[in-house]
Amino acid sequence: LPLEQITDFDAVVIGAGFSGLYMLHRLREDGFSARVYEKGDGVGGAWYWSRYPGARCDSESIYYNYTFSEELYKEWTWTSRYPEQPEILRYLNFVADKLDLRRDIQFNTEITGAHYHEEYNKWRIYFKDGSSVTAKYLITGMGCISVNATNIPNIKGIENFEGDWYHTGFWPHEGVNLKGKRVGVIGNGSSGVQTIPVVAEEAGHLYVFQRTPQYTTPARNHPYDPEYIKQAKENYHEMRKLVHESMAGIPLQFGEGSALEDSPERRQNVYETAWQNGGVISYVYRDLMSDEEANETVNEFIRSKIRETVKHPEVAEKLMPTYFYGTKRPVIDTNYYETFNRDNVTLIDVKKAPIEEITAKGVRTADGEEYELDILIFATGYDGMTGPLFRLDLRGKDGVLLKDKWDNGAQVRTHHGLAASGFPNMFMITGPQSPSVAGNMPIAIEQHVEWVSDCLNYLREHDIKTIEANVDAEENWSQHCKEVVEQTLYMKVDSWYTGSNIEGKPRSFNIYLGGYGPYNQMIKDMAAKGYKGFTLRSYSENMAI
Ligand code: NA7
């Protein structure tokens, strides 16, 4: 049959980002019929949508890519230490072309839901236009943050604003002319910290509405030396092994000592070296993420850098973070604190005087000030982890909605973040309770895609019709995830990791913090033991086929 007439697939994959592209490749290589559905008109996922000024990845380029193919790795050459959004998008297009993936991706197609039908042992996948297809396996590849789950705070009056407003994760492809404009940015997470210095250079005046001051460390981005790239390519095999065995998907040596055991002088030296090298610095001691006192040493170091950098003591004071460094997604920057020395930048503390209303002219805060704006940018993040899944009408056995099974996020239960009981033949790539955003995502994605691919081959070889996570296995895993996070400071802070950025979202931490390498070993062992914790059935009494 011509492809457009085929409506039943071995596997349907949601989304054509890093996850969907690799998953499709593996499915096809293994001889499964597969189709990826993608809302956008091109590949790239988050990197397709997040085109805001300054958008860049915080993982180093030479690790922020697929490692499964030596040929792909060697053929692509990154230009700088941290890849900017257009370059990542070019990379993913290069991969899609090279592997000839587009012929099995249907673009401009939004999936609204998927229902499992036990009697047929099929997933039926629904689209926005009301049509549907069926598949034996459903694989979600929307990632932990998605354009479908952007967070636009519910601030009174947005509909009255006469200027233009945008969200960083859903940026017009033709760009936005900021030249000479009065621009407001709400939010200073990873996106805000990246966009603020770039917007400041173009805008007539920039107003930064800050609720929680942010720790950020210099990225020290720079063009790559060709010799460095040459070596990276020569070390391909070693690199692939290292990143997959590492804690966070990058070959970084974690400090083994305690921050509290070093003398203040030596500690200062350690932090200063890390600061000069650039990038996140939470790894330099083993206890920075687990001990409040140890954590405070790095906080004080970064605060001293803010004092040094920002000229006006009053502005510097407003920029001083007090939470535990690293417990919100650690941010790296290019000229963030420096930007507040510019004459055309005003920092507004909206913790002190919260935003009360968006008016026709701009933003009004509780102290009665009104900031007149032409453009308002929401850098306010996402309903992460569960958000992309909950936006879909995802129903397992007996029509149970995933959102209900997980009690709106209060009771997330997965088997290693890969699968959930009651949802047979459904797999999640970087699902909740997997290591995912605790490191360098493409590596986490490869671990999952390779596991799912091996699993599907196993099922086919053994003539198994359904695979389903067991309730006790997901109970154990969820408990384990909880125990690991309880040894850290993460739950003590409000962040999108804990879900506390979304009004009404239950506080719950759904990232496995035990490390990429150990996790990968666990899921491989699980498979080697005949898919421990899963029920595999070669038939079902209810099945019509
Ligand atoms: P984040 O990291 O969730 O940051 C969102 C920012 O927006 C953060 O500073 C929030 O302040 C702020 N925010 C959210 N709602 C409001 C309201 N109502 N008023 C004022 N300020 C608000 O999102 P990003 O897009 O930067 O990054 C998301 C991920 O993308 C990132 O971690 C990477 O993995 C890629 P708060 O701290 O909550 O006070």
Q: Which pLDDT score is estimated for 5? A: 54
CA of 407 to the centre of ligand 1 (A): 24
Query: CA-CA distance, 518 to 58, in Å (whole number)?
Result: 23
- Listed in sequence order, the residues at least 6 apart from 308 whose beta carbon sits closer than 8 Å to its beta carbon are none
Q: Which of 4-8, 418-422, 452-456, 501-505 has the lowest average pLDDT? A: 4-8
Sign of CA dihedral 79, 81, 86, 91: positive
Q: Which pLDDT score is estimated for 253? A: 86
Is the distance from CB of 149 to CB of 391 less than 8 angstroms?
yes
- For ligand 1, what atom is nearest to the CA of residue 380? 7
Mean pLDDT in residue range 17-43: 98
CA of 151 to the centre of ligand 1 (A): 9
Please indicate whether residue 496, judged by its CB atom, sits closer than 6 Å to ligand 1: yes
CA of 111 to the centre of ligand 1 (A): 26
Q: The tokens of 319 are what?
A: 């920029």
In percent, how much of the chain has pLDDT > 90?
97
Q: Which pLDDT score is estimated for 3? A: 41
The per-residue pLDDT for range 148-182, each reduced to its tens digit, is: 999 999 999 999 999 999 999 999 999 999 999 99
Q: Which pLDDT score is estimated for 331? A: 97
Closest Cα to atom 14, ligand 1: which residue?
380
**Beta-carbon-side half-sphere exposure of residue 217 (alpha carbons within 13 Å):** 23
Please determine, for residue 522, whether its predicted confidence score (pLDDT) is greater than 50: yes
Please determine, for residue 9, whether its predicted confidence score (pLDDT) is greater than 60: yes
**Beta-carbon-side half-sphere exposure of residue 17 (alpha carbons within 13 Å):** 25
CA of 379 to the centre of ligand 1 (A): 6
In terms of DSSP H, where are the helices of 256-291?
264-277
Please indicate whether residue 192, judged by its CB atom, sits closer than 6 Å to ligand 1: yes
Q: Which pLDDT score is estimated for 1? A: 43
Query: CA-CA distance, 272 to 268, in Å (whole number)?
Result: 6
Q: Which of 165, 166, 329 has most ligand 1 atoms within 8 Å of its beta carbon, as the pocket-test mutant?
A: 329
Please indicate whether residue 210, judged by its CB atom, sits closer than 6 Å to ligand 1: no
- Please name the residue that has the structure tokens 């019709």: 465
Closest CA relative to residue 64, chosen from 18, 125, 22? 18
Closest CA relative to residue 502, chosen from 384, 405, 402? 384
Closest Cα to atom 35, ligand 1: which residue?
190
The per-residue pLDDT for range 377-399, each reduced to its tens digit, is: 999 999 999 999 999 999 999 99
Q: Which helix (H) or strand (E) holds 331?
A: strand 331-333
Rounded mean pLDDT of the chain? 96
Please indicate whether residue 168, judged by its CB atom, sits closer than 6 Å to ligand 1: yes
Q: Rounded to whole angstroms, what are the CA distances from 99 to 23, 24, 69, 71, 264?
A: 12, 10, 11, 11, 53
CA of 380 to the centre of ligand 1 (A): 4
Measure CA of the first residue to CA of the last residue in the chain; give whole Å: 22
Query: CA-CA distance, 403 to 89, in Å (whole number)?
Result: 32
Please determine, for residue 323, whether its predicted confidence score (pLDDT) is greater than 90: yes
Q: Rounded to whole angstroms, what are the CA distances from 344 to 114, 182, 196, 316?
A: 49, 10, 12, 16
The per-residue pLDDT for range 467-486, each reduced to its tens digit, is: 999 999 999 999 999 999 99
Query: CA-CA distance, 139 to 29, in Å (whole number)?
Result: 16
CA of 271 to the centre of ligand 1 (A): 26
Please determine, for residue 184, whether its predicted confidence score (pLDDT) is greater than 50: yes
Query: CA-CA distance, 281 to 287, in Å (whole number)?
Result: 12
Please indicate whether residue 535, judged by its CB atom, sits closer than 6 Å to ligand 1: no
pLDDT band at 545 (very low <50, low <70, confident <90, very high): very low
CA of 329 to the centre of ligand 1 (A): 10
